[in-house]
Chain A
Amino acid sequence: MKRVMTCIECPKGCRLEVEADGSRLISVSGETCERGPAYARQEIEAPMRTLTTSVLTRGLELKMLPVRSSKPIPKGKLFAAMDAVKLITVAAPVSAGTVVVPDFLGLGVDLVACRGLGKP
């Protein structure tokens, strides 16, 4: 089956023409860099997204700490991940890159802080 998809690897948003059979990629065209075909393959086989959200803090200078998954996680796991995120509280000062939760939900990715936060 042929379909058109928009590559979301960068803000350029290239239009890819993709031929696939179920979750098997057959061909890709329309990309302007090597990330296009890789994105198309991933999107057909197992779509992945980076999770960015924020977690609650206790005793730090801001109420919420922005966090991200260190690598993309399966798109289908986003809501399960959000449920888990809502249970996290960070109480110790962090800097950008500090691992907040290692191996988040056993997905093989870490949840890391996106900024530094100290005590007020």
Chain B
Amino acid sequence: MTADVIIVGAGVTGAAIARELSRYKLKILILEKEAEPAFGVSKSNSGIVHAGTQNPPSSVKGWLCVEGNRLLREEIAEDLGLNFVQCGQLVVIFDLADLPELEKIKKEGEELGVKGLELVDRAWLDAKEPNLGPEVKAALLAPSAGIISPYRFVYALVENAVKNGAELKTSRKVSAIRRPAGGGFEVVAGGEVFRARFLVNAAGLYADEVSALAGAPTFKITPRRGEEYLLDKKREHLTEHIIFPLPSKTSKGILIIKTSDGNPMIGPTANDVEDREDLSTSDEGLAEVLAGARRMVPSISKDDIIAYFAGLRPVSGKDFVIRHEDSAPGLVNAAGIQSPGLTSAPAIAVMVAGILKEHGLKLEPKEEFHRLRPRPVHLFQVPPEETRRLIEKNPAYGDIVCRCELVSAQEIREALKRGARTLDGVKFRTRAQAGRCHGGFCTTRIMKIMQEELGFPVKALTKRGAGSELVKAERK
């Protein structure tokens, strides 16, 4: 098939670009190597919508973050039916001697256009964040920061792009890219050949390989592993803001993160690694995260942890790599999108569209662009009267599958209808199995619903795609 633009990668960057381009009269194809969108780097994102402090004013990511924050807050979260909570962030210091550092961050943030920054003292913190430990002396408040579910953000972007005509093909790992004499690209993925005039590379951890395949071996990606530990929902009000310590050279430090689902999260660590598939957590990581988090909130206990995971940030130097590659005309890289990539994604998308236009892609707006996506039902977010109405309309909303997170059979079915194909895909969309029992009670029921909706035999059901089959044999 021939498209105007092929986007490699259905993480938050690729998804945002696809959605932005779907405003225009273009044939867009998204190729994703995993079984579902958001299964790479985006899956382990912490969901922070950064205010835009802690980035150098001269950097590309500096202004993209501030602009992405604005777009998300003012337009996209609402348009896509996402639950964005503007809780604000605090950068805390443990020594008043670090005050000049905080002031520097404030000044740099203001240069980038971050609004509402304010230095707050211990008395303010005592009133607003009573759980902070005695070591914390002062903080910088950034009220425009917030939280969002990272995977539901990606699913919303992809669904909306598809609604507007983009095509998504999953389990299509790019194995070769040819540049025919007449221009454009021939992309071989999953044994099929796809053609397009323009190629956007949003391949996350593999962006350097994809760029090289397309003829532009111009950068290298180093995975930086981060371990995150999720706490019980009972600890939801541990803090009211996202809490950062003063940033170090390699990372923003160990944070206390609110999440849109209520469970606080602590982490991440930051270690450069070689292996692009190494998503393991470690005893050392746990110790580091606990120590870092407890310094800010001493009441955090190991027993609060209900889940943990590791993610890899695709790092290429200090800044994002967003550019047209002149050595491979038509190739636009959106690579090295580490933190604050999720926040920046909507702004990156606009920037990439601009670069494509500059290099000859005609951006002609569609007569009808479906800007809005209906908000999916999540019973745990719904007040009782609304629940009653939903159940009366559709009895299956009263058929509870996941007891810890209150997810009904109907929500599982809707997730499958919206594109979930795997157990993890169902979990990310609905939160079923994401609670304290980790699916101990509901996994078999979900698998049965998946069999009904997808028509797969049980042995074909996977956790997250081929190779991760859940069951090896069946009595039947």
Interface residues of A (CB under 8 A from B): 56, 64, 86
| B475 neighbours in A (Cβ, 8 Å) | 56, 64, 86
Complex Cα spacing A86 to B475, Å: 7
Judge whether B472 is part of the interface by a CB distance below 8 angstroms. Answer: no
4 intermolecular pairs with C-beta atoms under 8 Å apart: A56-B475, A56-B476, A64-B475, A86-B475
Per-position 1/0 for B446-476, Cβ under 8 A of A: 0000000000000000000000000000011
| A64 neighbours in B (Cβ, 8 Å) | 475
**Closest chain B CB from A61 CB (angstroms):** 14
Complex Cα spacing A64 to B475, Å: 9
Q: Considering the complex, which residues of chain B in the window 206-238 have a beta carbon less than 8 Å from any beta carbon of chain A?
A: none
Q: How big is chain B's contact interface, by range?
A: under 10
Interface residues of B (CB under 8 A from A): 475-476
The total of Cβ contacts below 8 Å across the A-B interface reads: 4
**Closest chain B CB from A117 CB (angstroms):** 16
**Closest chain A CB from B451 CB (angstroms):** 12
Complex Cα spacing A56 to B476, Å: 7
| A56 neighbours in B (Cβ, 8 Å) | 475-476
**Closest chain A CB from B459 CB (angstroms):** 15
Q: Which residue of A lies closest to B475 (CB)?
A: A56
**Closest chain A CB from B295 CB (angstroms):** 48
Complex Cα spacing A86 to B476, Å: 9
| B476 neighbours in A (Cβ, 8 Å) | 56
Q: Which residue of A lies closest to B448 (CB)?
A: A63
| A86 neighbours in B (Cβ, 8 Å) | 475
**Closest chain B CB from A53 CB (angstroms):** 10
**Closest chain A CB from B110 CB (angstroms):** 64
Q: Which residue of B lies closest to A64 (CB)?
A: B475
Complex Cα spacing A95 to B476, Å: 22
Q: Which residue of A lies closest to B476 (CB)?
A: A56
Closest 4 CB pairs of A and B: A56-B475, A86-B475, A56-B476, A64-B475
Complex Cα spacing A64 to B476, Å: 10
**Closest chain A CB from B399 CB (angstroms):** 16
**Closest chain B CB from A108 CB (angstroms):** 26
**Closest chain A CB from B19 CB (angstroms):** 43
**Closest chain A CB from B475 CB (angstroms):** 6
Complex Cα spacing A16 to B476, Å: 43
**Closest chain A CB from B388 CB (angstroms):** 28
Complex Cα spacing A86 to B473, Å: 12
Complex Cα spacing A42 to B475, Å: 33
**Closest chain A CB from B264 CB (angstroms):** 40
Q: Which residue of B lies closest to A85 (CB)?
A: B475
**Closest chain B CB from A11 CB (angstroms):** 24
Complex Cα spacing A86 to B474, Å: 11
Complex Cα spacing A69 to B475, Å: 20
**Closest chain B CB from A38 CB (angstroms):** 35
Complex Cα spacing A56 to B475, Å: 7
Complex Cα spacing A54 to B340, Å: 53
Complex Cα spacing A64 to B444, Å: 14
**Closest chain B CB from A84 CB (angstroms):** 13
**Closest chain B CB from A76 CB (angstroms):** 24
Complex Cα spacing A106 to B144, Å: 77
**Closest chain A CB from B55 CB (angstroms):** 56
Q: Which residue of B lies closest to A54 (CB)?
A: B475
**Closest chain B CB from A60 CB (angstroms):** 14
Complex Cα spacing A60 to B375, Å: 39
Complex Cα spacing A24 to B6, Å: 79
**Closest chain B CB from A62 CB (angstroms):** 12
